[in-house]
Structure 1
């Protein structure tokens, strides 16, 4: 949500390029810069971004009013221009609001993880009870619901199936298997060779920018923006 704002990049870069008073190197520097950046982004959120939901409703109301005005006077160019501007603001704010809702839902899932797990296990138990087989129909058409008889029936059924040979499945013909798609020697060596900084960067940018934030509260999109201005050997 923040990355779409025109001031986001300048705020991040100005914070990241400032010298640290805390001594350290490597990941220590990255950690303390992220901590400092987090405070600046909080100020950026409540000073500039503001109430996203309210801004969305205001833009929506403005766009609806502009549409109503242009319907009453379709030939008015001033109203048509105002309607286009209101539509662009509404679409932009709608995109920001949608990103905000997606991020909020993921943060709430992390915060209420134990409650989510309890709900999940309660739901699974309910499904088990619903899918539990408590009776069966015997060969003479009678419904047997006695628990010991149901258990005995299923045990006998699986005893008659398990351990029996199946003519449909035989041995694997490796000659036929080799005729299919296989990895070349170059591909096999590529799987075990050491990875480079370029591989790390490619993997980092392969992560969705709206992925759930980690323990530090940052998502992949923020780190991707920071890495865009650095070379392969600078991180």
Structure 2
């Protein structure tokens, strides 16, 4: 399909600017003839036909220029997009850690090795597994719990003193 389209383009549209110049000159000559003989019907018909062909070719030239502008704009946009993503990738790559020294001072390279060292470091820094509240409220045995909930007479209050009978 591509080959026939190229042939059609080469045969019909390769010399659009030349065709436009030819028809402009031809139209100009016919219009000069019409000025010398304004009532000649054959000159009017030739002028109308030549003008229509000139308008058609001019429309094709404008369409071709628009297509070329679109192609240029797309290519320019692709270059800008390519540049933007290259810069974004560069910034992302700058934030990666490729090499690191471990606790012994040995330089370690590679994402997996560096990841392992960082994981071990933070595990060591954070310590063992944490149970929320375990260090604040120690667990009591049942006998201690019962003793804590009973009112005591030492406090100056009798058990069940404020409760209705």
Q: TM-score, normalised by structure 2?
A: 0.44
Which structure's relative contact order is higher, taking Cα pairs within 8 Å and 6+ residues apart? 1
Structure with higher Rg: it is 2
